[in-house]
């Protein structure tokens, strides 16, 4: 089974709808992240969490919110989706105590907002 | 604000030849990561470089880090088709485990 899972994998929605993307991990990592990838671009950080009660804004947090329900779960919400939020969304995890603190990525969620 | 630039953005390779991808970044850091992404797939960690002068090699890929020049290189030796993918570098500015990614280099290896 995959260590970092994301649901749904694909979602098509309409402008103004509320959407939640979910991320779960079995790696036991304390840190979790949400990124957005647009075609031809690198990843940009939306929000990150270093522990269950810790939430931090990233580079592009406007229009998004997150919830860290447990160490293993980190959800991303779009309260009122708009077309320019159409993108590929990745969740990632890392272990503060690990060598190098490298981040491990989930399979991604492709979101289309019509 | 940390900026990370990769070049080239696109690299058409011939099998058997050698190539280099460059990753420049704008502020002090001694933690740099290389990832590979296949079309429609997630990111796969290739290398973690944690100090000035660090060099890591895996198969036909070799990555190095020069923190004084704020430059990392990913060298591909004797390119093969299986290396076709997009390669990203990412920098951890203050060892805070918050990555800033370059724009990626799309590599296409032709026979």
Q: What is the pLDDT of residues A64-82, one digit of tens each?
A: 999 998 999 999 999 999 9
pLDDT value for A42: 85
pLDDT value for B96: 66
pLDDT value for B52: 84
How far is residue B83 from each of residues A60, A68, A95, measured CA to CA in Å?
Answer: 31, 37, 28
Q: B79 — contact with chain A (CB < 8 Å)? A: no
Confidence of residue A98 (pLDDT cuts 50, 70, 90): low
How confident is the model over A1-54, as pLDDT tens digits?
Answer: 569 999 999 999 999 999 999 999 999 999 999 999 998 778 999 999 999 989
The closest CB to that of A96, out of B90, B97, B103, belongs to: B97
Residue in A closest to B89 by C-alpha: A42
Residue in A closest to B9 by C-alpha: A40
Asked if B88 lies within 8 A of A43 by C-beta distance, the reply is: yes
A112, β-bridge pairs: A12
Pairing of strands B85-92, B71-76: unpaired
Q: B48 — contact with chain A (CB < 8 Å)? A: yes
Rounded CA separation A1/B21 (Å): 33
Q: B92 — contact with chain A (CB < 8 Å)? A: yes
pLDDT value for A86: 97
Order of strands, sheet of B55-58, starting from the edge strand that comes earlier in the sequence: B4-7, B19-25, B71-76, B61-66, B55-58
How confident is the model over B34-91, as pLDDT tens digits?
Answer: 999 998 899 999 999 988 888 999 999 999 999 999 999 999 999 999 999 999 999 9
Q: Residue B49 in contact with residue B63, Cβ under 8 Å?
A: yes
Q: B87 — contact with chain A (CB < 8 Å)? A: no
Residue A96 has pLDDT above 80, yes or no: no
């Amino acid at each position: 089974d995959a260590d970092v899972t994301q649901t749904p994998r694909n979602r098509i929605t309409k402008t103004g709808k509320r959407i939640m993307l979910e991320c779960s991990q079995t790696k036991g990592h304390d840190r979790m992240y949400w990124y957005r990838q647009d075609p031809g671009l690198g990843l940009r950080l939306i929000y990150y969490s270093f522990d269950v009660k810790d939430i931090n804004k990233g580079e592009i947090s406007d229009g998004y919110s997150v919830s860290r329900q447990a160490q293993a779960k980190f959800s991303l919400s779009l309260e009122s989706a708009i077309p320019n939020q159409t993108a590929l969304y990745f969740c990632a995890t890392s272990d503060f105590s690990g060598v190098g603190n490298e981040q491990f990525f989930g399979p991604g969620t492709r979101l289309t907002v019509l | 604000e940390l900026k990370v630039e990769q070049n080239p953005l696109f690299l058409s390779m011939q099998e058997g030849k050698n190539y280099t991808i460059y990753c420049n970044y704008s502020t002090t850091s001694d933690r740099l990561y290389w990832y590979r992404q296949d079309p429609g797939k997630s990111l796969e960690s290739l290398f973690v470089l944690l100090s000035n002068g660090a060099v890591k090699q895996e198969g036909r890929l070799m990555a190095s880090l020069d923190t004084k020049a704020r430059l990392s290189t990913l060298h591909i030796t004797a390119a093969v088709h299986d290396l076709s993918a997009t390669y990203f570098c990412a920098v951890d500015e203050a060892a805070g485990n918050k990555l800033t990614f370059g724009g990626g280099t799309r590599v296409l290896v032709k026979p």
